[in-house]
């Protein structure tokens, strides 16, 4: 029987309904995540109102990040073919705006709560994470997020996120938390810079967070760097100098490879009087825009593979990292408990004997012991009392050591396993086992099945999106 809360079961049903319309191939992946959830519940790694499936975005996700006045909102309006986002040279929106398709609700703006409470979106329960960073801010989720609905066909089946200026509000910790969350979940990240400011010295924080911190990621190929509003260089015809300045700035942060796009919005572009120069700028702009739009169209396919990859990665992490880490911590805890038992009870015994020596009452102690052997009831009572004292000492030490270790895990490399460690040190768990609680033959078999299923899912996706043989597919 499933240990998941009713709310989780309901949300899984909603997710299945969504996938039946958008990508039926991934429906089986939900069952894989469900198996991993059950193992997570048994081992205590996740709560029953949580799910590994909630840690990813099930909709293809494209994020637009960058500095103020880099033309992010203008780009989005142009891409949508509709004026949805406010534009301007100053900060016009201090929230992350999630844009999705909706024919009947087109044009509506919904509060951040609509995102925080829906597991299909990439910000499900993000208020909990914000609360961990800044106490009280989690209850102000509407100050950070909003949902906008558009009937533009280009976003059907995908999500677009427009970020506030990256250097907004003195780089608020909570804003950076949301930014990092977006970077992790996105299938494609468009990073915008402003060609009108060719000296990027004032944007070092942005460059550091969006370039230096991302180039070594395994998914670094999903980052696309765009120098927007390059039309401002048309009069001096110094595009190469501006691009060179930005490339040098990026190379200082470690970005020495990758494509760097230069675009501008034709609707608000600076007039270019020279016909040949105008044609050259437009041709380059159209070529780069075509490549960017091609990348955006590909995210649906990339998302399908990324979900399967996330499921497989979670399974491997459970089996090869989380469980060994919990077992190691539990073994260390048991060793410390038994050592503390020996020390405390040994000191108690020495105190009794030592007190007898000091007071010269060894004879009295001997008489008491002799009396216990001649009176069975006294013997039983004494043994029971000693056992109760020993058990109280033992369980007290267990609790104290577990609490101390759990506190020390916060902020350490083992913090992700702290819940599992707590679950493995409950008062009814024996100290004479090094296995993580809830990890048994059935749990391992379930995880191994998910790993095997991941390969089958990839084959199914390959069958859907590729055709190496070139033969016509058989209709099913």
pLDDT for residue 371 is more than 60:
no
Distance in angstroms (rounded) separating the CA atoms of residues 186 and 170:
24
Q: What is the mean pLDDT of residues 279-303?
A: 87
DSSP letter (8 states) at residue 208: I
The token duo for 235 is: 């009069």
* pLDDT of the residue at 137: 67
The pLDDT of residue 238 is above 80: no
Greatest alpha-carbon span in the chain? 117
Residue 35: its pLDDT value, please?
A: 92
pLDDT reading at 94 higher than 60: yes
Q: By mean pLDDT, which of 99-113, 125-139, 219-233, 335-349 is the weakest?
A: 125-139
Please give the pLDDT value at position 355.
54
Residue 415 has pLDDT above 80, yes or no: yes
d(CA 431, CA 434): 8
- pLDDT score, position 471: 55
Q: How buried is 394 (Cβ within 10 angstroms: 0-12 exposed, 13-18 middle, 19+ buried)?
A: middle
Domain ranges of the chain: 60-323, 327-448
Instruction: Classify strands 145-150 and 109-111 as parallel, antiparallel or unpaired.
Output: antiparallel
Kindly tell me if the per-residue pLDDT of 89 is higher than 60. no
Which whole number is the average pLDDT over 244-262? 70
pLDDT value of residue 349:
72
Eight-class DSSP state of 187: S
Helix (H, G, I), strand (E, B) or coil at 96: strand
Q: Which residues pair with 194 in a beta bridge?
A: 228
Percent above pLDDT 70 for the chain: 76
Strands of 145-150's sheet, edge to edge? 109-111, 145-150, 96-101, 159-162, 61-66, 188-194, 223-228, 260-262
In tens, the pLDDT along 8-33 reads: 787 778 778 777 776 777 787 888 99
Nearest to 317 by CA among 416, 456, 179: 416
The 3-state DSSP class for residue 60 equals: coil
Higher pLDDT, 290 or 473: 290
Question: Higher-confidence residue: 128 or 261?
Answer: 261
Phi, psi of 241 (to 5 degrees): -65, -45
CA distance 148 to 114: 10
Whole-model pTM: value is: 0.70
pLDDT value, residue 353: 61
Torsion sign, CA atoms 171, 176, 177, 179: positive
**Residues 310-320: what's their mean pLDDT?**
93
Task: Give the pLDDT of residue 248.
Answer: 73
Look at 299-308, 338-347, 400-409, 434-443 and tell me which has the smallest mean pLDDT.
299-308
Q: Compute the distance between CA of residue 56 and CA of residue 304 in angstroms, rounded to an integer.
A: 11
Distance CA(140)–CA(130), nearest Å, equals 9
Please give the mean pLDDT across all residues of the chain. 79
The label of the residue with tokens 């700035």 reads: 249
- The closest alpha carbon to 191, from 217, 161, 168, belongs to 161
Phi-psi region of 66 (alpha: psi -120 to 50; beta: other; left: phi over 0): left
60-323 CATH pick, 3.40.50.300, 3.30.300.130, 3.60.21.10, 3.40.440.10: 3.40.50.300
Range of lowest pLDDT (249-263, 337-351, 410-424, 435-449): 249-263
168 confidence band (pLDDT: 50, 70, 90): very low
Q: List the single range of 31-45, 221-235, 251-265, 411-425 with lowest mean pLDDT.
A: 251-265
d(CA 457, CA 305): 9
Q: What is the pLDDT of residues 418-473, one digit of tens each?
A: 999 999 999 898 888 888 999 999 999 999 999 998 888 888 788 777 765 555 55
- Is the confidence at residue 346, as pLDDT, over 90? no
Q: Which residue has the higher pLDDT, 54 or 261?
A: 261
Of the two residues 388 and 86, the one the predictor is more confident about is: 388
Question: pLDDT digit string (tens) for 49-86?
Answer: 888 887 777 888 898 988 777 788 888 888 888 888 87
Whats the size of the chain, residue-wise? 476
Q: In the chain, helix, strand, coil percent, each to 5?
A: 60, 10, 30
């Amino acid at each position: 029987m499933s240990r998941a809360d009713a709310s989780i079961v309901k949300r899984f049903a909603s997710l299945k309904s969504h996938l039946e319309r958008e990508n039926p191939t991934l429906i089986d992946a939900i069952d894989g995540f469900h198996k991993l959830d059950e193992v997570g519940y048994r081992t205590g790694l996740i709560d029953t109102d949580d799910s590994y499936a909630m840690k990813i975005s099930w909709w293809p996700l494209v994020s637009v990040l960058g500095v103020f006045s880099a033309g992010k909102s203008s780009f989005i309006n142009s891409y949508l073919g509709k004026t949805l986002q406010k534009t301007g040279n100053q900060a016009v929106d201090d929230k992350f705006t999630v844009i999705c398709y909706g024919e009947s609700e087109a044009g509506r703006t919904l509060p951040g709560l609509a995102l925080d409470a829906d597991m299909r979106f990439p910000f499900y329960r993000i208020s909990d994470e914000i609360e961990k960073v800044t106490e009280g801010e989690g209850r102000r989720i509407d100050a950070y997020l909003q949902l906008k609905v558009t009937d533009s066909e280009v976003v059907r089946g995908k999500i677009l996120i427009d970020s506030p200026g990256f250097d907004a509000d003195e780089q608020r910790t909570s804003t950076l938390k949301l930014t990092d969350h977006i970077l992790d979940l996105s299938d494609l990240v468009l990073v915008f810079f402003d060609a009108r400011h060719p000296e990027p010295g004032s944007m070092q924080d942005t460059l550091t967070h969006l370039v230096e911190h991302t180039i070594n990621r395994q998914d670094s190929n999903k980052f696309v760097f765009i120098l927007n509003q390059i039309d401002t260089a048309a009069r001096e015809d110094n595009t190469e100098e501006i691009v060179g300045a930005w490339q040098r700035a990026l190379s200082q942060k470690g970005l020495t490879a990758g494509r760097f796009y230069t675009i501008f919005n034709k609707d608000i572009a600076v007039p270019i009087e020279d016909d040949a120069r105008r044609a050259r700028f437009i041709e380059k702009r159209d070529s780069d825009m075509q490549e960017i739009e091609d990348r955006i169209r590909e995210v649906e396919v990339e998302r399908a593979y990324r979900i399967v990859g996330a499921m497989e990665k979670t399974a491997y992490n459970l089996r090869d990292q989380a469980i060994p880490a919990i077992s190691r911590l539990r073994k260390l805890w048991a060793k410390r408990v038994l050592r503390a038992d020996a020390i405390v009870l040994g000191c108690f015994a020495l105190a009794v004997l030592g007190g007898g020596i000091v007071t010269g009452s060894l004879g009295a102690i001997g008489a008491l012991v002799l009396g216990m052997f001649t009176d069975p009831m006294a013997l039983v009572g004494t043994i029971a009392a000693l056992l109760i004292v020993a058990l109280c000492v033992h369980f007290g030490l267990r609790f104290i050591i577990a609490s101390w270790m759990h506190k020390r895990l916060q902020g350490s490399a083992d913090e992700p396993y702290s819940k599992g460690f707590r679950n493995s040190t409950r008062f009814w768990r024996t100290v004479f086992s090094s296995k993580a609680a809830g990890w048994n033959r059935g749990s391992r078999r379930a995880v191994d099945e998910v790993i095997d299923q991941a390969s089958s899912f990839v084959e199914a996706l390959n069958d859907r999106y590729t055709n190496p043989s070139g033969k016509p597919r058989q209709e099913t």
